[in-house]
Structure 1
Amino acid sequence: MQKRLLFLVTLLLAMTTTVMAQITTSGISGRVTSQGEDVIGATVTATHLPSGTIYRAVTNIDGRYTIQGMRVGGPYKIQVAYIGQKTKTFENVTLRLGETEDLSCSLQDDSKELQEVVVTGNAGVNGTKTGAAQSISSKQIADMPSITHGIADVARLNPQLTTSSNGAMSFAGASNRYNSFMIDGAMNNDVFGLAADGSNGGQAGTQPVSMETIEQIQVNVAPFDVRQSGFTGGSINAITKSGTNQFHGSVYGFGNNQSLIGHHYPYSDGTGYAPKYQKQEQYQWGVTLGGPIIKNKLFFFVNYENANKTYPNLNGYRQAGSRVNPDEADDVLQKVKDMAQRQGLSYDGTFANPDIYTKSNKLGAKIDWNINDFNKFSFRWSYVDAKQLNVVSSSSSLNDDHYYFPFTSKTNSFTAELQSRISPTISNEARVSYVRVRDKRNVASAFPMISLLVTGGSVNIGNERSSMANSLDQDIYTVEDNLTWYKGNHTFTFGTHNEFYKFANLFIQDANGSYNFTDKAHFDKYYADFVAGTIDPNYNYFRQYRYGVANVDVTGDPRWKTPFSAGQLGFYAQDKWNITPSFQLTYGLRMEIPLFFKTPTANEPFNTYAAQHNWDVRTNHKLSSTPLWSPRVGFRWDINKDRQFILRGGLGIFTGRIPYVWISNNFAKTGLQMQTYSVNNPKGLELILNPNGQEANAARLRAAGSQEVNVFEDKFKFAQTLKANLGFDFHLLGIDWTAEALYSKTLNDIYYKNLAVDKTGQTFAQVTGYEWDNRPMYERTTTGSPFSYVYALYNTSKGYTTSLSLKGEKHFNFGLDLMASYTWTRSMSVNSGTSSVAGSNWMYNATYRDVNDPELSLSAYNVPHRLQASAYYHINYGAQKQWETTIGLIYQGRSGSPYVIEVYGDMNGDGANGNDLMWIPTDAQIDRMKFASGVKVNNSKDIYPLITKVLGSGFNGTLTEAQQRSLMKQWIADDSYMNHHRGEYFKRYADNLAFENHFDVHLAQKYSFKVAGQTNSLELSLDIINIGNLLNKDWGHTYGDEFGRYFSPFNYEGNGVFKFDGTHVARNYDTYYSRWRGQLGLRYTF
């Protein structure tokens, strides 16, 4: 089957010029008439004035013309000429990325005494789009308040887009892993699926392009053009600047320090305010230069940018933001060092507070060549080198310096494109690209991870468990083509878009061993017994032990990188039919073929075991190359034929890429190459601190059977969504309005099962006597086998999203621009796929019904309400209008991140801690619940408001059961959602954190002057992000920095006993983004 598909690909590529599918250009089209008759043979000439690039077309038998493959932006001068008729000229035309501007016209008889007819600028609204899309110009990019100068800051102008402070972008409630990010049409999103912002370099805190180099950005949510694919969420396509006939460029710099950042900000747990940063700095500078190599023929554009951000960790050791008892943490660290020394090792970890930093360098070069009037060629290269220190900490987590890790990322990208006009009715766009990405987590020295609870939170010593062996190499090749044929009032497109991936992923979680003690009392007992040489073989010192290792007998390499290659082929055909001058119908069909060039290794003992249990899975299952079909139809109706009232919409299927990390899990964890062991409450296990000595514990676990295996269901398919969109663009009361309705129905999405657990037939109510909580109980079904965790990836068709938005824009001639929008979204899913690891995607998909058939619930990306408004004022003044002042204000209001309240502990016996949704008890039910004894709390400084409110100021002691009941009752009563849903389960993501309101300001003063006849300018700018917090420290708070928050405010101790101490009930503020931040900028443009 694979050979036949490859033969088909080769044949199809041979039949067309090898090239493009994602859109990088613009176009114009129209109908030319004279006295009501079609004009045949009129000449249309479009000149891109900055570069002198010329495009030509001749009207056909219907008087129609089309020119595609034109440079984005402008200005253009477009002339329509015919013998015996006055020439019609369009001046200062600006073209939007991916849109075809309608420039229809009527010519006047030359015998009449008329001057040349000139039309200035573009008329009407919204180009020729059919679905939900938006174009953002370089001017809008420059005027956007921003400190990071990132894509997300600009893309947020789209009403359907919601961003989180860690850079993740969700379009209309879809996962941030389901987006597409293109630069000059070449794929630059993180196809492996690890970066929150979805782009290469994202894990190191950067992006693959400098905003200073971008000419225009197009944001799409539901485009019904079949050329656009690779996403079920949304797509962002950025087009970079090119050289022109004049030398032009810029030198720019932006920066701030601790004086331009909030002096007070809320603690992450919301219990007060910390002092200002003593030291913080962020700067970014760069240069661009473009110009002619040969006038009107060959152009260049180059850029360099350096960025550096450094700020302290205020949640670190003995810092104001940390709630963890430092004396207990010191005691733990010293005892670990002592045990290491007694085992013949040396450990130099400390509770240092290193500054958190992000550094990057970006280089780029672009060549544009007007070969002749019929062929245009461009080549672009870019390089990004980034490094970020990841300090994983919070107010309730204290980690030593070996737990931190610098993350390095290097990206090389090459793109070549050829645009050809083969004949007056046939044009072609072609592209090939190659992207090389090298990412790596670096640890100081190898050491196991030791974690435990102390007063105020947790302590972590040693290497973070996912960073012990972690790197990723990606090589991505793209071959694309679009062939367009203009026939009468039809525009036919035939194309192919083909992607090929090569991955090598080193990811051995727990490679040095991970030991989790229940609490400090258990840790202290182990230490005492270890020193005395009396380890109790029947005592549970640890809550959990985990270990991962590459099987050298199979891999030949202890740091084995999971290798696999894949591809995705796309073929499509489309007709854009101008049925009438005012009604356009676009319909097409796209076919995607996923390819996998390798098969996971067969683990025959597992396959035999799975067959005996009728699981219908096997480790060597190869994903199907069955074609995935994406039919689409879209329409556009200019109701009054004046482009003032436009109804548009469409219906179609979108096929996306799957995050390939989910595929990689199944190549790595067959139970052969990579062996993962995990055991809860192991009796008599020893703490082995030699990272190379974990085999002693692993041998014991191997005998008890604790392997993890990852598999697919037999017919697993890539993500697909059916989207329906209806939009209305209209001009009313002097305002341009856009009303948008979007509905997305899941066709193929993901969820996970753990085949190693099954229902016992009992409920929690039957086991504990709490008759109100009827969640099912589970048990391990693989006892006696080596397989303790079997995570299977399945498809589901459950899920949908509805999104409604209204946007209004008003432009005033005196320089004022106003915009306001509101978006309502409801997104439902079975599993939001928030993790890169199979076990985590199953384990942390909290449920109350069935852990292997999770209920349909709100998505981790469901942000129901989003408000947006902006006001920009531009004024030019001075004798020569050489002064320009810009004042911009943007408001972003949105529901907080969706969250879950779960119980920490294993309530249902499925072996997972933290995936059991909370039952919201009534007061009467709380009175019947059992609570643990010996629960100590120190609130002597009144840092926990709930404890102060219920038990009084300065409480420091042991909580009784009655006090724990009182705390829980008050906590529920104070929470609006829980108070109104007593006697129910807390549904997954059923509530959102507090509504957020943020105001951002951009101020710029520009002075323009002439040098050698060319305009130069110097601009000073000030951006203030979250200016509300500058005015009042209680304004502008951000609640959480990511989608899908989890809170575990109380524990299940087993046997129907709970523990609630009231110290983890606050909905955390984000410690950085809740403060105002300012930045000064200086830009010289020539």
Structure 2
Amino acid sequence: MSFTKKLSLGTAAIALLAAAPAAVYAQETTGGVRGTVSADGAPVSGASVVVTHVPSGSVSRVTTSANGGFNARDLRVGGPYTVRVDAAGYGSQMVEDVYLALGAPANLPIVLNSGAADVIVVTASASMFTDIETGPAARFTADDINGLPSISRDPRDVARLSTFANLDPENSDAISLAGSNNRYNSFTVDGVAQNDLFGLNSSGFPSENRGPVSIDALAALSVEIAPFDVQYGGFTGGTINAVTRSGDNDFHGSLYYFRTDDSLIGDSSRGRAINFSEFAEETRGGWLSGPIIEDRLFFFVSYEEFDRAQPLFTGPLGSGALNERSGITQADIDEIINIGNTVYGLNLTNFPDASLGSLDEKLLISLDWNINEDHRAKLTYNTNDGGSVQERSDRADLGTPSTWYNRSEATETLSLQVFSDWSDNFSTELTISQSTQDTGQDSVDGSDFAQMDIELASGSVVSVGPDFFRHANALANETFQFKLRGEYVYDNHVISGGYERRTQDIFNLFVPGSEGSYDFGSVNDFRNQVADSLFYQNAVTNDENDGAAEFSFTLDTLYLQDEIDVSDRLTVAFGVRYDRYSTDDAPTANANFLGRYGYSNAGTIDGLDVIMPRASFNYEAPFTYDASFADFSVTGVTLRGGIGRFSGGNPLVWISNTYSNNGVSIDSVFVGGPIANVDAFNVPAGAQGALTAGDGSVNAIAPGFDIPSTLRASLGADVMFDMFDSNDWMFTVEYLHDEQANAPFWYDANCPAAGTSPVDGRPIYNCNTDRQDIVLTSVDMGQSDIWSFELEKDFDNAISFWFGYTNQNVEDAHSGTSSTATSNYSDYASFDRQNARVSTSNYEIQHDFKLRLGWSHAFYEDYETRVEMFVNHRSGRHFSYTYDYSNGDANQYRNQSPFGIHESAADDEGTLLYVPMTDGTGNVTLTSDPLINYTAGFDITGFNEYLQRTGLINYAGEIAPRNGFDSPWSTRVDMRFQQEIPAFFPAAARGVFYMDIENFGNLLNDNWGRFEQVGYEYFQPVVEIDNIDPVSGAYLYDDFRGDAASETRVSTSSVWQVQFGVRYQF
């Protein structure tokens, strides 16, 4: 008679191992178990291994190979699982409470007892497992997500826990991974890309403000930086991979409600009063899962809605807005609004009546079908409808509410996954999906009249009317994705390969200025309807809809890989991935462009491809060490690393620019002033008649353009050690090196060279002021070196600890901060924007410290009290010191800088500052630099003090470097308190109360928790440069701006905020 023995091998469940940041294996939606079966020191072949998912009854059966190896693939994330091994002559062994992390197969060695008759049952512990890891990454379970301090409840708040991730509160919480452009990342849900594939949003998501799926619907999320498995693709930054929950044989559900409002937010930072107008944020939702057919068919449904009425971020002096604009009072705004309504017949909204709002609605439905023991399928339907009111004042110091716009975004995705085990050795995964993304941008006071910019007596500019870029702006994006991947196990080899196809159909309407844009030299001119200038851009038919671009493209991918278990300690992998782009659509050819430059603007990415070889290893070193102090001993060391090329994630909108701006279908005209009898609703007939086909500005792809990619290499080590009578500490070190190839860069082909400045050696150009021909090209420039260190420990008293530090050194030729070619050309600091030069990247955060602390305890029965804290202390974002210029040209859309560069007024601050030479005392005076002249009354004393205080003086006689200066360091502490209570029905139900506190430091002390940085475009103008002396080449400096024109912005995250929540779950 046999009987069962219970054998405990430790108190830490494997779920704790999965909860900590660690490397992952591949871009998977599943987990897996692999390992070896041995007895008496020899492998056991032909043993039966049965892996059972206890909640759903799903079973996976495999047989050990000649070397005793087994590999159960494509298993659900989470658990618990049981792993049972049976072998003739050796008895049986069962491992219980196995939990699987996303994409990280657990490596489980099993040793059988020769001749044993009993079934030995083993409770899983962290010490039993190792993971097959290669590159740096982090993974998080549903329990991690549930404990996360987060008011926004967004997947980005989970991803920020990675040492390689950081968020930019001043840029829609855009997430940068490994110091890369936020548009270079991939975000997948259940294996389907749900990032902003077009690249319009700075957030990287289909919605500018919130993620496409509720975090309550997530079973796991991983952040992967250098996954060398060849099935990874579609990014050069990093990938965020999420898997949603599934149903099982028991019914589970949750209802929740979260709220914060203006009574739960701080009102000052470092003594500065911050007056939030009345606002509220509410999140309501719930989910339900369970069986449809026991052990066979299961469902999961999640619904969430969010609405927000938010405070004003920017306003006139005295408005109490977070960022008040100097030189503009509420009285100025009142007068301008009154003129607009009474003289022009508008219906303009004023600041006291304005509010910013957001709405967001998410629905996810999934069905899981265990077809049989060898095949299972998952069908997922996901929708996300949202909208938010955005402030806009790019072309003025302050935009009134009529310049704001409602950005509506709707995403719908349907996907099917089928996982099949055709034999013990061969398995496949099939994924098919269809998704649509629609974006609308509608001005809050209507979009059928002109934008009008009015200069005040103070010199500041106020804008009314629909924002220039919102006059005709709509996007529809339809994407089809297909993936077929197979895996074959042969002896100690795991051979995998696959084919993927992604097809996108794009409709993009983008005709900025189609309602006209006027400049007024004064408020009186505005009252009298006399404008200094008009800029008008439209389709040559004067119907903005004729300026829309429609095109499609296809990306085909092939990959093949061999993963070899060289020994029970060493695993290596070699593979290659191949991407090829194709399209049958080309931009409309412009004969004038061809005549000017000798190549066509109709070039596309058709036929371009990238070959991406990769290699990686994981080695469990036979190394231990015992020290004579502090009871310190090293119990295990794992080395891992790899090298390979990655490509993808580059915004399609950069290619779309060539279709929308062909110079044939759209033209522009400038009308100089004075222009009398301005009618906001009707563009003058003369301007409409001046549009000419084939003579407009052009965006084009250079003949030598190639697909951007990066060569990425990483080396890492995990060191397990004990000390101070405390076991299972983990220290991790990672090194990541990147070298960019074919990095994007933009230049104006219509800019002939005109000489070199004798002051600082910068080139002088003579750009055409009638048009811009912006060309996208490739440069082999840019690299990064990143070090990451982590220390973590889960203590026996339910305290968890994790600390991370990252050091970045990131350089690029262009940071690609915008979605349009013209903005990318002009919205970065440079002394020569026509030629690429490497400098510090906008996305580098040089020092980044992170700390996570957790504690839980059940004071009453098993109802848990839980406290989680996350601390982030980091250096500030880089910025550049630059010029402003004033050349007297009333046409803000046809300015030429003193250096001959064609820029618009919104971007006239992008030229790097030359710091004058000093005298013998180390000070800048009126005569210290013979090639710098100053206008009468220039504040040379204040200028010199500013140069000394900011450190600019260190570059005397030189051009100040791009991104050579830093915004202040910031420290933020977020906390979550949650308490479970009995809910009585059904028996296992319970309620949970939540309190989230963001920026807890500011709650304790007004001087703490401040976040401020120089805002987009990340440059700070210092002086105006009026002109360059035509004889001597000397610069004429005017209007030292100093701190009065600071571009440093204080974020709403500078003050504390509290959110309360309640949940019922069963």
Q: TM-score, normalising length from structure 1?
A: 0.87
**Contact persistence 2:107–2:130 (CA under 8 A):** no
Query: Does residue 658 of structure 1 match 2:663?
Result: no
Give deviations 1:978-1019, integer Å, cap 9, x for gaps. Answer: 24333332211112201111111111111356645x522211
**Alpha-carbon distance change, 710 to 54 in structure 1, aligned in 2, over 3 angstroms:** same
What is the distance in 1 between the residues matched to 2:1009 and 2:57? 49
Q: Which residue of 2 aligns with 1:753?
A: 747
Query: Does residue 693 of structure 1 match 2:683?
Result: yes
- 1:477-626 aligned at under 5 Å gives the runs 477-517=480-520, 522-523=521-522, 526=525, 541-542=532-533, 545-552=534-541, 558=545, 560-611=547-598, 617-626=599-608
Query: Does residue 251 of structure 1 match 2:224?
Result: no
**Alpha-carbon distance change, 678 to 816 in structure 1, aligned in 2, over 3 angstroms:** farther
Q: Which residue of 2 aligns with 1:942?
A: none
Q: Which residue of 1 aligns with 2:853?
A: 871
**Contact persistence 1:473–1:504 (CA under 8 A):** yes
Q: Which residue of 2 aligns with 1:181?
A: 187
Counterpart pick for 1:1033 among 1006, 1025, 1044: 1006
Q: Which stretch of structure 1 is more off in the superposition, 1054-1063 or 136-145? A: 1054-1063
Give deviations 1:713-746, integer Å, cap 9, x for gaps. Answer: 1132222000000010111234201100000000
**Alpha-carbon distance change, 898 to 1065 in structure 1, aligned in 2, over 3 angstroms:** same
Post-superposition offset of 1:626: 3.2
Query: Does residue 107 of structure 1 match 2:122?
Result: no
- 1:293-692 aligned at under 5 Å gives the runs 293-313=292-312, 315-317=314-316, 319-321=319-321, 322=324, 323=326, 324-335=328-339, 340=344, 346=346, 348=348, 350-392=350-392, 397-443=397-443, 444-445=445-446, 446-454=448-456, 455=458, 457-517=460-520, 522-523=521-522, 526=525, 541-542=532-533, 545-552=534-541, 558=545, 560-611=547-598, 617-640=599-622, 644-677=636-669, 682=672, 684=674, 688-692=678-682
Post-superposition offset of 1:689: 3.4
Amino acid at match of 2:1023: F
**Contact persistence 2:615–2:642 (CA under 8 A):** yes
What is the distance in 1 between the residues matched to 2:913 and 2:549? 38
**Alpha-carbon distance change, 695 to 1036 in structure 1, aligned in 2, over 3 angstroms:** farther
**Contact persistence 1:352–1:401 (CA under 8 A):** no
Q: Which residue of 2 aligns with 1:1076?
A: 1056
What is the distance in 1 between the residues matched to 2:215 and 2:320? 36
**Alpha-carbon distance change, 1054 to 1041 in structure 1, aligned in 2, over 3 angstroms:** closer
Counterpart pick for 2:902 among 907, 911, 931: 911
Query: Does residue 725 of structure 1 match 2:714?
Result: yes
- 1:960-971 aligned at under 5 Å gives the runs 960-961=937-938, 964-971=939-946
Post-superposition offset of 1:117: 4.4
Query: Does residue 812 of structure 1 match 2:795?
Result: yes
**Alpha-carbon distance change, 552 to 244 in structure 1, aligned in 2, over 3 angstroms:** same
**Alpha-carbon distance change, 1042 to 235 in structure 1, aligned in 2, over 3 angstroms:** farther
**Contact persistence 2:393–2:463 (CA under 8 A):** no
**Alpha-carbon distance change, 395 to 700 in structure 1, aligned in 2, over 3 angstroms:** closer
Counterpart pick for 2:143 among 139, 143, 151: 139
- Number of positions where the alignment pairs a residue of Structure 1 with one of Structure 2: 987
**Alpha-carbon distance change, 57 to 751 in structure 1, aligned in 2, over 3 angstroms:** same
Post-superposition offset of 1:50: 1.2
Structure 2 unmatched ranges of 5 or more:
1-25, 625-634, 886-896, 1029-1035
**Contact persistence 2:37–2:112 (CA under 8 A):** yes
**Contact persistence 2:79–2:100 (CA under 8 A):** yes
Amino acid at match of 2:202: A
What is the distance in 2 between the residues matched to 1:77 and 1:200? 39
**Alpha-carbon distance change, 256 to 702 in structure 1, aligned in 2, over 3 angstroms:** same
Post-superposition offset of 1:559: 5.2
Post-superposition offset of 1:37: 1.9
Post-superposition offset of 1:853: 0.6
Amino acid at match of 1:447: F
Give deviations 1:401-420, integer Å, cap 9, x for gaps. Answer: 32111111111111100000
What is the distance in 2 between the residues matched to 1:245 and 1:127? 29
**Contact persistence 2:32–2:71 (CA under 8 A):** yes
**Contact persistence 1:749–1:795 (CA under 8 A):** yes
What is the Cα-based RMSD across aligned positions, in Å? 2.5
**Contact persistence 2:198–2:652 (CA under 8 A):** yes
**Contact persistence 2:396–2:463 (CA under 8 A):** no
Amino acid at match of 2:555: Q
**Contact persistence 2:790–2:802 (CA under 8 A):** yes
What is the distance in 1 between the residues matched to 2:621 and 2:1056? 46
Amino acid at match of 2:971: N
Post-superposition offset of 1:1048: 2.2
Q: TM-score, normalising length from structure 2?
A: 0.89
What is the distance in 1 between the residues matched to 2:792 and 2:396? 45
Post-superposition offset of 1:708: 1.2
Q: Which residue of 1 aligns with 2:628?
A: none
Amino acid at match of 1:788: R
**Contact persistence 1:351–1:399 (CA under 8 A):** no
What is the distance in 2 between the residues matched to 1:524 and 1:1024? 45
Amino acid at match of 1:507: F
Secondary structure at 2:825 match in 1: helix
Query: Does residue 897 of structure 1 match 2:886?
Result: no
Query: Does residue 70 of structure 1 match 2:75?
Result: yes
**Alpha-carbon distance change, 334 to 559 in structure 1, aligned in 2, over 3 angstroms:** farther
Amino acid at match of 1:171: L
Q: Which residue of 2 aligns with 1:1054?
A: 1027
- 1:203-218 aligned at under 5 Å gives the runs 203=208, 205-218=209-222
Give deviations 1:672-718, integer Å, cap 9, x for gaps. Answer: 12224468xx4655684344425523655869x97311110113222
Secondary structure at 2:220 match in 1: strand
Secondary structure at 1:973 match in 2: helix
Counterpart pick for 1:802 among 750, 773, 785: 785
**Contact persistence 2:108–2:129 (CA under 8 A):** no
What is the distance in 1 between the residues matched to 2:556 and 2:409? 28
Amino acid at match of 1:631: P
Query: Does residue 35 of structure 1 match 2:35?
Result: no
Post-superposition offset of 1:523: 2.8
Amino acid at match of 1:214: L
Amino acid at match of 2:973: F
Q: Which residue of 1 aligns with 2:766?
A: 779
**Alpha-carbon distance change, 629 to 514 in structure 1, aligned in 2, over 3 angstroms:** same
Post-superposition offset of 1:624: 3.6
Q: Which residue of 1 aligns with 2:53?
A: 48
Q: Which residue of 2 aligns with 1:192?
A: 198
What is the distance in 1 between the residues matched to 2:130 and 2:679? 64
Give deviations 1:336-391, integer Å, cap 9, x for gaps. Answer: 55663xxxx65645455412111111111000000000110110001111111112
Post-superposition offset of 1:329: 3.7
What is the distance in 2 between the residues matched to 1:874 and 1:453? 59
Amino acid at match of 1:889: M
Q: Which residue of 2 aligns with 1:972?
A: 947
Q: Which residue of 2 aligns with 1:538?
A: none
Q: Which residue of 1 aligns with 2:631?
A: none
**Contact persistence 1:864–1:895 (CA under 8 A):** yes
**Alpha-carbon distance change, 425 to 35 in structure 1, aligned in 2, over 3 angstroms:** same
What is the distance in 2 between the residues matched to 1:278 and 1:125? 54
- 1:760-771 aligned at under 5 Å gives the runs 760-763=754-757, 765=758, 771=759
Post-superposition offset of 1:448: 1.4
Give deviations 1:876-925, integer Å, cap 9, x for gaps. Answer: 233xx322111111110111122122212223121222221111234555
Q: Which stretch of structure 1 is more off in the superposition, 488-497 or 120-129? A: 120-129
Amino acid at match of 1:442: D
Post-superposition offset of 1:55: 0.9
Give deviations 1:827-875, integer Å, cap 9, x for gaps. Answer: 1011110011101111122211x32113211111011110001110111
**Contact persistence 1:86–1:117 (CA under 8 A):** no
Structure 1 unmatched ranges of 5 or more:
1-20, 267-271, 536-540, 612-616, 766-770, 934-959
